[in-house]
Structure 1
């Protein structure tokens, strides 16, 4: 197997990851090296933003660096909160979250950026600041009250039903656009959302940026 160009720090989850999800190696056209961060559960990362995870993430990132990864990312957009602390300890490019695309997307589209997140109640200004997006006009919609997505990916209490999640994703995007008709693009915070990008395309012509678009952009230059 060729040396991995990209290392991915994985949260400790059990749900199914279809092609398009960052946790499925078939999503990418180049070799991937995965590293599980055992203490990084959904609760600790998304619900609590636990700073005690910084060191385990740094240790795991350094492991991937030694394994030859040319760049490193993570499987959760909420890790933007620790972007700088982790990057400061690495020699290779590190991007914790899809959210770090917001400043660029704002610059090239010229208007408010819509953010679709796995859990709106957990996405704070601190997360946006970690992505250098604290002063950029954004509109946030979450999947908090959408049962199929939340049960499968956040609570891990039900099996993933991709058809139902597709419908919920379209519903969330429609609501986002209805509430904020001035948005000029959408950024998907969650790394589990790219498999449903085709569904989003059915309800909007706005440009949609996600973790895979960011990964492909970075890796192409390595």
Structure 2
């Protein structure tokens, strides 16, 4: 008899854009097995705008299906799903971390006195105090959003081709904007799960630690291996 699957389950939104290594949706991004389950009808716009209440049962069903396949813990492909953290955790029987934003309180504990976490999000106008509350984080956490007319939005919602150079340039400029505005940033958390392909480059460019959905998922999965 073959060994049972021992994997991280990832609940995916209903999207079709390219996902290179580093993206949450590419299995080669992870140093252990992952399982994917797409939720039909879960568009980026519905989740980012917080209009996904009707999809809650479908998210639960996806998590349960991943558990049956052998997942030991669960995460998602969109940091805005942190708004549903309490509800999903209460209905699923596996540990679930809906968003990289849940790392903020822990990272804050690591930082020197006077330093804060800065967040880069897909859409600043849609990231509300309720999202931060569900993450256990200060709603006044310094945050910057990717430009709505930029390359990431064009890729994720506009059907544009993956342009790595322009995506990296846009993200670098966005992080630079945050740091120019907020001099006390000691670490960065990427809300958007499509940003990790650039985490190492951003860490080198600005000399700051960067946390994302991959660091969240690795930590979560490591705990399932104890004993």
TM-score range, shorter chain: over 0.9
Q: Take 1:140 and 1:67, find their aligned partners in 2: how far apart are those partners?
A: 37
Match for 1:54 among 29, 53, 56?
A: 56
**What is the deviation of 1:89?**
1.1
Q: What is the CA RMSD across the aligned residues, in angstroms?
A: 1.5
Work out whether 1:125 is the aligned partner of 2:129.
yes
TM-score (norm 2): 0.92
| Cross-structure match for 1:208 | 210
Among candidates 99, 113, 116, match of residue 112 of structure 1: 116
Distance 1:128 1:117 in 2: 12
Quote how far apart the aligned CAs of 1:141 are.
Answer: 0.5
Contact kept, 8 Å, 1:44 with 1:50, in 2: the verdict is: yes
Matched with 2:150 is 147
Structure 1 runs not aligned, ≥5 long: none
C-alpha deviation, 1:203, in angstroms:
2.5
Structure 2 portions without partners, runs of 5+: none
TM-score for both structures, normalised by structure 1: 0.94
Q: 2:66 aligns with which of 46, 57, 64?
A: 64
- Number of equivalenced pairs: 220
Q: Secondary structure at the match of 1:70?
A: strand
Indicate the SS of the match to 2:93: coil
2:5, 2:199 → 1: CA distance? Answer: 29
Q: Does the aligned pair in 2 maintain the 1:106–1:136 contact within 8 Å? A: no
Shift of 1:202: 3.8
Q: CA deviation at 1:136?
A: 5.8
